[in-house]
Amino acid sequence: MDKHSKKNVIRNAVIGKDCTLIDSKSCEKPIHFELVSALRELQAQAEKNGFDLRIASGYRSFEQQLQIWNAKASGLRDVLDKNENALDITQLNPKELMFAILRWSALPGTSRHHWGTDFDVYDAAAIDDGYQLQLTVSETQKGGPFEAFYCWLDNILSQPAMSFFRPYTLNSQLEVAPEPWHLSYRPTAHLFQQELTIELVSDVIKNSEIALKTVILDNLEEIFQRFVVTSS
Ligand SMILES: [Zn+2]
């Protein structure tokens, strides 16, 4: 790939519009090819400790994130409050609804899942086949099925040489709900993060069939400040 087309691939991949760099075969879910071996190593370490680290969700395209967004905006999917209870969205104006969705779902074009460097994990050894995975904080805490797994994960993520980290934590400056299951591969995610700009997202939103489009475009700067991890 020459320099120019590589730049184009990255520009589109930042917003979930190019999957050239995504490996769909090596792991159970599609992820960026650069983290395949690091992820396998993490899984091997988990296994040594009696855990079966699996990916619930890896790469997600702009269109997939758009479906989630539109389903929430139209009431087909629950919009949750801070305490993970469903909101009555008929009581919210468009701006309130948009910010309520943003607590749990990224604006299409700004999801770190677009990059393939970020993925949600769980421990398949802790649950049986019939278990309906929710990815809620209560599953990760004391008395939840993944308590021991998260104990191990907290520990391993704190090691200095670790290349995976959690972008959405409790003490983050952002208003995104903490997602302890969401891991990011720093060496590659860092490059995408540098490319993510308001202009890029504004363009893709303008050209998409997204619910709440006007209110999104009117508030894009605030959305970035409150909900998007950027480099600056
Ligand atoms: Zn996630």
Q: Is residue 10 part of a domain?
A: yes
How does strand 182-185 pair with strand 164-165? Answer: antiparallel
1 contacts 7 by C-beta, under 8 angstroms? no
Q: How many CB atoms lie within 10 A of CB 32?
A: 23
Separation of 2 CA from ligand 1 center, angstroms? 32
Reduced to 3 states (helix: H, G, I; strand: E, B; else coil), residue 120 is strand
Separation of 120 CA from ligand 1 center, angstroms? 5
pLDDT category at 59 given cuts 50, 70, 90 is: very high
Separation of 168 CA from ligand 1 center, angstroms? 9
Separation of 92 CA from ligand 1 center, angstroms? 26
Cα-Cα-Cα-Cα dihedral sign, residues 172, 211, 61, 110: negative
Q: Is residue 205 part of a domain?
A: yes
Q: Is residue 196 part of a domain?
A: yes
Cα-Cα-Cα-Cα dihedral sign, residues 168, 106, 197, 187: positive
Distance CA 159, CA 137 (A): 23
H helices, E strands: number in the chain? 10, 6
pLDDT in tens, 210-226: 999 999 999 999 999 99
Nearest to 37 by CA among 203, 142, 163: 163
Structural domain total, the chain: 1
| Rg over CA atoms, the chain | 18
pLDDT category at 231 given cuts 50, 70, 90 is: low
Distance CA 83, CA 88 (A): 14
Q: Is residue 53 part of a domain?
A: yes
Distance CA 59, CA 189 (A): 12
Answer yes or no: is pLDDT of 232 > 60. no
CATH of the domain at 76: 3.30.1380.10
Q: What is the mean predicted confidence (pLDDT) over 107-121?
A: 98
pLDDT category at 95 given cuts 50, 70, 90 is: very high
Which residues hold their Cβ within 5 A of ligand 1, which is an ion? Answer: 120, 182
Separation of 4 CA from ligand 1 center, angstroms? 30
Which two tokens mark 186? 């720093």
Q: Is residue 52 part of a domain?
A: yes
Which two tokens mark 138? 């209560």
Q: Is residue 64 part of a domain?
A: yes
- pLDDT value at residue 211: 98
pTM above 0.95, yes or no: no
Domain boundaries, position 207? 3-227
Q: Is residue 232 part of a domain?
A: no
